[in-house]
Structure 1
Amino acid sequence: MAVEESAAPRNNEVKKSTASKAGKTAKKPAARKTTTTAKRAAASRAAAPARSIAGDAPAPSIAINEPYEFGRVNVMDITPNAEQGVYPARVELGEPFEVTAQVFIEGRTKVGATAVVRNPRGKETLRVPMTCVNAGLDRWVATLMCGEHSDAKPWEKEYAAVKRQLGEWTVVIEGWEDAYVSWLHDARIKVQVGDDVENALAAGAALLERWAASADAKLAARDRKTLTQAAAVIADVSLAPEQRLAAADNADIAELHATNPLRDGVSPSRPQRFKVERPKSSFAAWYQFFPRSEGAYWDAETGKIVQGTLKTSLTGLERAAAQGFDIVYLPPIFPIGVTNRKGRNNALVAGPDDPGSPFGIGSELGGHDTVDPLLGDMDDFKALTARAHELGLEIALDFALQCSPDHPWVKQHPEWFKHKADGTIAFAENPPKKYQDIYPIDFNADMPGIEKEVERILNLWIEAGVTIFRIDNPHTKPVRFWQDVIASVTKKHPEVLFLAEAFTRPGMMRALSYVGFTQSHCYFPWRNTKEELEEYLLTTNGDAGYYQHNTFWPTTPDILTAYVRDNGIAGHAVRAVLAAMGSPSWGIYNGYELIENRQRPGFEEQIDNEKYEVKIRDWSRADDFGIGALLGSLNRIRREHAEAFGYHNVRLLETSDPNILAFARHTPAALTSTGKPETLVVVVNLDGHNAHQAMVHFEMPEFEVDPQWGAHMRDELTGRDFAWSWDNFVSLAPWADVAHIFHVVHN
């Protein structure tokens, strides 16, 4: 139903008035009007106000009864907009985001626009005046927020208040005729040239009186007094025209126009839907480690590696918490198959002591619903999640929907797998690549049955303390499958999140986000030049961010790029800064702190890959490189300036050197808890070997900085203070500072 302003008649009043007139005047049956014509005529007659003696009649608010009808002011092309009106844009609770719309009226009359935010219960929580950013295209913009930022975890008592705010919010764009600005524009000209001055000023006095009496303007008593006093001065013919006009053309009246305008012909858009999701749905810091490597050691007697367990993995939790991460992500912890088990570095034949890949899931010991006995049992896993929660960490579990030839499903449900012409089950392959240790699932024979089993398994791990699932290769399964599974799981456990590990085409990525994948792996590791990064920052933090929440990972067990390989400690620092500051959600694969950057020849992955063997690490060496301390600093900056982070508030800054990248994150003062703007400026030297200098342009008014005083910039990495103006010199060297992360200090 359209939202109607008080100036407009209610639908039942329109019908009553029209019916009453028809009853008095009807002498004989008249030709019946079409429904649309009748509604339009009734609304026009009922909404039309009496013509004022001084000036034109104010624009009426015309009731909108059908989705295709326009109001008195035209509102179109609102962004973001759900595809086919089905899939709403997604934002995290308290995340700043931007809406735009075309708002216009006929002729040269001026218009204004207001964005109104309502929670799932229909209560208005925010009303923001929009700004015209392109008059030629009638484009208006506003930065909004649904609810307040929170760090409450699903298991904490504070989460109950968070939960009540989640769901579908709406934003309505209200276009309106700006009678004050239209009048002022003409009055200034007429007073200046002495043309029809009395009529112009009389109209202005009447307009201010009407403004003072407007309920929609929500004026305080002192504001109404300001307007009526100004109207009296304008109407005083004993004063000079310039003096009379000045009573309505000054800073006080301009401020009232900005905050409490006279809005004629208010025309609301249809409500735009936004799905508001829980904390950490998009603003999160991930840390990945393999439990079997945590606490692993060499047995001097046997000369063999003793792998870690879920109990020894508590050290990994402690390390993640100390570095300020929010989420610990574990690879599959299920039994590993024996048939065709892979050896070190993906060798086709495993040695007698090779543990195999945890992605070759399932053995005679169990499948996806079983803890690998070499790691422990379900009680050990529950103890791990309980300790994680004590440390403020969420546990994310990898769920790879594939099976080893030894998985129980192979015997229990052979119809769930693809078969060759000779009747044997086909292992996975992407010619010429072959994955002999994995059987892919065939969804065509019994997708409902597979869905039911997967839902059972996910719920089992949720009950054990998992709040997030990282799904391996979801793009190789039907989108409808994930849509059904995620809907079923989140209906019972709405706090559960899903991350898509999908490196694939844009259409598939968007579809996965539509059906419930809250975050996504992405192509950040391969964006390394200034031009590539600038383009990708805007892609990630633009309109696409309303659906696909890219998570920036410098490396993963599957990815080790040439940049990380070739740029040493400085390169690791650069990529960490870009990941932590470039996206609200980022992640680190452990070993990054130890500069593990040797590639397997011919592949963009690490040699001696942890997916195929147990790694013994000397964590006492982490302090030698400083990367662990940097990770902690980056997460501290993110926490202390959380209000600067969102998928829609990145702006690129112009720099004079092709190796110096600069960008800013900015949230306006009106949307922060302190009432001050929250701005971070990131400047990075992308060259891991050479120093570079550049001039960085800082458009101060765009960041609510008064050019008269300049900007007080505090480097959050070093604590040093700088004074910035329009153009600013920076110098960064890989052996000293690879980056500045400036906080704009507002006293």
Structure 2
Amino acid sequence: MSSADIMPIALDDGRIRVVIENVQPAVDGGRFPIKRIIGDVVEVFADCFADGHDVVACALLWRRAGDTEWHGTPMQPRGNDRWHADFTVNAIGRWEYTVRAWVDPFLSWQHDFSRRIEVDDVRIAASSGAALIADAARRAGTGSDAALLDAWARELAFATNAAEGADADALKRIGADAARGSIAQRYPDLTHALTCPQIYQVTVERERARFSAWYEFFPRSASDDIRRHGSFADCEAWLPYVKRMGFDVLYFPPIHPIGRSRRKGRNNTLEAGPEDVGSPWAIGAAEGGHDAILPELGTLAEFRSLVQAAASLEIDIAMDIAFQCAPDHPWVTEHPEWFRKRADGSIQYAENPPKKYQDIYPFDFETAQWRELWAALAGVFEFWVGQGVRIFRVDNPHTKAYPFWEWVIARIRAQHPEVIFLSEAFTRPRVMHRLAKAGFSQSYTYYTWRNSKQELTTYFTELTQGPGRDYFRPNVWPNTPDILPAALQYGGRPVFMARAALAATLSANYGIYGPAYELLDAAALRAGGEEYLDSEKFERRVWDRDRADSLVEFFSVLNRARRANAALQRDSGLRFLSVDNEQIIAYAKTSADGSNTVVCVVNLDPHHTQSGWVDLDMQAFGLGPDQSFQLHDVISDAHYLWHGARNYVSLDPQRCPAQIMELRAHLRRENDFDYFL
């Protein structure tokens, strides 16, 4: 091999000896931002080291995106060349961080100086140290630190050069001054420092992105008279009902004009009668498209009034954004180039064989006019943000191009960082995760089909402890208008209660499609399928919300418990507990500061009482091995006194299949009076 075959290493400065590796947290090496909530502490780790025995120092740098100045804090060693520091994100929006490391001449000198023995060796080293301290004084500029360091350098130099010469111990005492040494470390020599070229990003969102309870219903079914179409005024009358159950996000399916061409009839039939209202997801008609409102629902002013009324009750209105068109959407005639064509030149309707959606035209994200299409779709979000909407549930985002989502979410958040996006993508795991990386605040999950103890344990361990924990926020739904799971079809009231309790406690974000859920609607269109009979997707319904068997009060208790316990307001802190019965699942959640712990036990068998012994890791709960402690079940209001690591549980599903128990440590006063924290 000739020298010409050897490619030289490209270096800006070959004297930079430090190495920075494995910066965490990082999503795809920093390609995508991690997600946090305002007020969170962002913990950063990195491997930093160099050749030889010199001392390495490193710092964490961070700033709000757009700022010119970086803030910095020293990183602390964690062993094996691993370093750690953190910073707090105190505003929503985009933040940035990176790591700087260097071989530190002063710290290297200080480390070796304390180990020297011979007086001549100490004197020579002290002279070198005085020069290093003087350099630090110059870097300090003016002020008290500079004056103190300059005096220290002079003192050490004088002791070194005195006619008689200070002895080794005296020199060491001067050079090893810890207080002045810590000041010198504030002004390191960064001549040969390395700053990690990758700038890592953090998307910081408001609290509702991490902790929310969603309630979905169809505005057109808000009327109490089947002969009268529901309106925004009717929806406003529903707000106290939603508030009573404790939901803080009220989500509507699309509220736009519904196409008349190829309109679907009841139960998804191909022939619609004159009274059939069609699917809200078949968007667009003569009255307008994605920036218009179905006239039967009301006016834009009435919609804004509803948004404001909901906000007064601390409820967000979430809009469904479905980027697709009915055949008579204005865009179909104005921009036919935005849609895919069939071999005969006609526009291709949506299908997912064997399912066909003849009333929907999907967009072609490979169109030559993709820039114009992107701009129009971004305009839909911008229009509704202008009407006061701050949460969007996006329908089937996995059938649209990933670059579009990354671009449009960044565009909206640049002006409105408080906007939250929920990805409704029931698809392959990697696709779901890519959408989360692209910017979606929350993501639908496979919870709907995870029923057994093993399935639930494995899946939620992955969600809370797997690599996606820094960017994938689960939002779990036991049902949707599209999905009536088999468990709900056959399990009766106990399954409805159990699945709701699991959703509300395993995940900080959850939702239900109601009133179908709280009114126990379990009628399927056909055996073996997941479609609702008389689905609201294709017709209006009237719901008797005052039914005696309604789960309204159950949801009130669930959501009240979530608001009262910080442990249930985040996904971290989840640990599953061992139970000697496969029909019982038990787990605990602990708040970030460790002050609040909730223990949940759920009977997965809807037909029989199940019992078992729960094993606790007492140390993990901050309890002694034989300590007694109290558990308060917020559902039944019962109090249980448990003792030690192994305790007995029994749940009758006909009464209540779940226990949600606040843990309170049991202490004993000197006068033998029991009390609980």
TM-score range, shorter chain: 0.7 to 0.9
Q: State the SS of the aligned residue for 2:208.
A: coil
Q: Tell me whether 524-533 or 653-662 shows the greater mean CA deviation.
A: 653-662
* Alignment-mate amino acid for residue 631 of structure 2: M
Who is 2:470 aligned against? 546
Who is 1:574 aligned against? 498
* Alignment-mate amino acid for residue 614 of structure 1: R
1:443 aligns with 2:362: no
Who is 1:740 aligned against? 659
Q: State the SS of the aligned residue for 1:362.
A: coil
User: How far apart in 1 are the matches of 2:509 and 2:72?
Assistant: 26
Please give the per-residue CA displacement for 1:401-432, whole angstroms capped at 9, x wherever unaligned: 11111111111111111122322222222333
* Alignment-mate amino acid for residue 278 of structure 1: R
Q: State the SS of the aligned residue for 1:619.
A: coil
Q: How much has 1:93 moved relative to structure 2?
A: 2.4
Closer/same/farther in 2, CA of residues 696 and 99 from structure 1, 3 Å limit: farther
Who is 1:595 aligned against? 520
* Alignment-mate amino acid for residue 409 of structure 1: W
* Alignment-mate amino acid for residue 430 of structure 2: G
Alignment coverage as a number of residue pairs = 567
1:492 aligns with 2:421: no
Closer/same/farther in 2, CA of residues 715 and 291 from structure 1, 3 Å limit: same
Who is 2:152 aligned against? none
1:660 aligns with 2:584: yes
Q: How much has 1:103 moved relative to structure 2?
A: 8.6
Q: How much has 1:433 moved relative to structure 2?
A: 2.5
1:408-423 maps to which residues of 2 (within 5 A)? 408-423=330-345
Who is 2:570 aligned against? 646
Q: How much has 1:113 moved relative to structure 2?
A: 12
User: How far apart in 1 are the matches of 2:304 and 2:538?
Assistant: 26
Q: How much has 1:457 moved relative to structure 2?
A: 2.0
User: How far apart in 2 are the matches of 1:112 and 1:656?
Assistant: 51
Of the candidates 454, 457, 461, which is equivalent to residue 534 of structure 1? 457
* Alignment-mate amino acid for residue 542 of structure 2: I
User: How far apart in 2 are the matches of 1:689 and 1:407?
Assistant: 50
1:705 aligns with 2:633: no
Q: State the SS of the aligned residue for 1:536.
A: helix
Who is 1:434 aligned against? 356
Please give the per-residue CA displacement for 1:80-116, whole angstroms capped at 9, x wherever unaligned: 3221322121122245787777799999x9x999997
Of the candidates 606, 611, 614, which is equivalent to residue 688 of structure 1? 606
1:72-221 maps to which residues of 2 (within 5 A)? 77-94=22-39, 120=64, 146-147=88-89, 164-168=91-95, 170=97
User: How far apart in 2 are the matches of 1:743 and 1:142?
Assistant: 33
1:608 aligns with 2:526: no
Q: How much has 1:716 moved relative to structure 2?
A: 2.3
Please give the per-residue CA displacement for 1:362-410, whole angstroms capped at 9, x wherever unaligned: 1111111111111111111111111111111111100111111111111
Q: State the SS of the aligned residue for 1:702.
A: coil
User: How far apart in 2 are the matches of 1:443 and 1:118?
Assistant: 37
User: How far apart in 2 are the matches of 1:377 and 1:126?
Assistant: 54
Taking structure 1 as the reference length, the TM-score comes to 0.69
1:630-645 maps to which residues of 2 (within 5 A)? 630-645=554-569
* Alignment-mate amino acid for residue 661 of structure 1: I
1:723 aligns with 2:608: no
* Alignment-mate amino acid for residue 480 of structure 1: P
User: Are the counterparts in 2 of residues 652 and 664 from structure 1 also a CA contact under 8 Å?
Assistant: yes
1:512 aligns with 2:435: yes
User: How far apart in 1 are the matches of 2:16 and 2:57?
Assistant: 26
Please give the per-residue CA displacement for 1:680-725, whole angstroms capped at 9, x wherever unaligned: 1111111111111111111111122233534332222233322332
Q: State the SS of the aligned residue for 2:233.
A: coil
User: How far apart in 2 are the matches of 1:717 and 1:126?
Assistant: 46
Aligned-residue RMSD, C-alpha: 3.7
Q: How much has 1:599 moved relative to structure 2?
A: 1.1
Closer/same/farther in 2, CA of residues 553 and 129 from structure 1, 3 Å limit: farther
1:624 aligns with 2:552: no
Please give the per-residue CA displacement for 1:186-212, whole angstroms capped at 9, x wherever unaligned: xxxxxxxxxxxxxxxxxxxxxxxxxxx
Closer/same/farther in 2, CA of residues 644 and 471 from structure 1, 3 Å limit: closer
Q: Tell me whether 363-372 or 441-450 shows the greater mean CA deviation.
A: 441-450
User: Are the counterparts in 2 of residues 366 and 407 from structure 1 also a CA contact under 8 Å?
Assistant: yes
Please give the per-residue CA displacement for 1:612-669, whole angstroms capped at 9, x wherever unaligned: 0000111110x424x2111111111111113553233211111110011111112353
* Alignment-mate amino acid for residue 86 of structure 1: R
User: How far apart in 2 are the matches of 1:113 and 1:616?
Assistant: 68
Q: How much has 1:167 moved relative to structure 2?
A: 2.7
Who is 2:274 aligned against? 352
Q: Which runs of 5+ in 2 are unaligned?
A: 1-10, 105-184, 666-676
Q: How much has 1:607 moved relative to structure 2?
A: 0.7
Closer/same/farther in 2, CA of residues 611 and 175 from structure 1, 3 Å limit: farther
Who is 1:377 aligned against? 299
Q: How much has 1:561 moved relative to structure 2?
A: 0.6
Closer/same/farther in 2, CA of residues 680 and 688 from structure 1, 3 Å limit: same
Q: State the SS of the aligned residue for 1:311.
A: helix
User: How far apart in 2 are the matches of 1:720 and 1:604?
Assistant: 37
Who is 2:668 aligned against? none
* Alignment-mate amino acid for residue 419 of structure 1: K
User: How far apart in 1 are the matches of 2:535 and 2:566?
Assistant: 35
1:558 aligns with 2:486: no
Closer/same/farther in 2, CA of residues 394 and 105 from structure 1, 3 Å limit: same
User: Are the counterparts in 1 of residues 578 and 586 from structure 2 also a CA contact under 8 Å?
Assistant: yes
User: How far apart in 2 are the matches of 1:434 and 1:308?
Assistant: 28
1:287-302 maps to which residues of 2 (within 5 A)? 287-298=215-226
User: How far apart in 2 are the matches of 1:610 and 1:367?
Assistant: 21
* Alignment-mate amino acid for residue 211 of structure 2: F
* Alignment-mate amino acid for residue 384 of structure 1: L
* Alignment-mate amino acid for residue 290 of structure 1: F
1:302-321 maps to which residues of 2 (within 5 A)? 305-321=227-243
